[in-house]
Amino acid sequence: MSIDRELLEILACPACKAPVVQEEDWIVCTATDDCGKRYPVRDGIPIMLIDEAVDPKK
């Protein structure tokens, strides 16, 4: 399910405040060098909680 483009424009990664993009069922931080966390989208709702994020460095 696609997140509204206007919502994506105002969302930011809660961990590092970088812009985010949607990749399938994930909201992905664009700061891949520093952060790159992936936040799940459940039932069309982005779950932008650091505790719910998947850290690509782990």
CB atoms < 10 A from the CB of 8, how many?
15
Residue 20 burial (10 A CB sphere; 0-12, 13-18, 19+) = buried
CATH code assigned at 9: 2.20.25
Residue 35 lies in a domain: yes
pLDDT at residue number 11? 96
pTM of the model as a whole:
0.89
Provide, rounded to the nearest whole percent, the portion of the chain with pLDDT above 70: 97
pLDDT at residue number 1? 72
pLDDT at residue number 58? 67
Q: How many domains does the chain have?
A: 1
Ranges of the chain with pLDDT below 50: none
**Are 24 and 2 spatial neighbours (Cβ–Cβ below 8 Å)?**
no
Per DSSP, the residues of 4-28 read PHHHHHH-B-TTT--BEEEETTEEE
Domain span holding position 34: 5-52
Mean pLDDT taken over the chain = 93
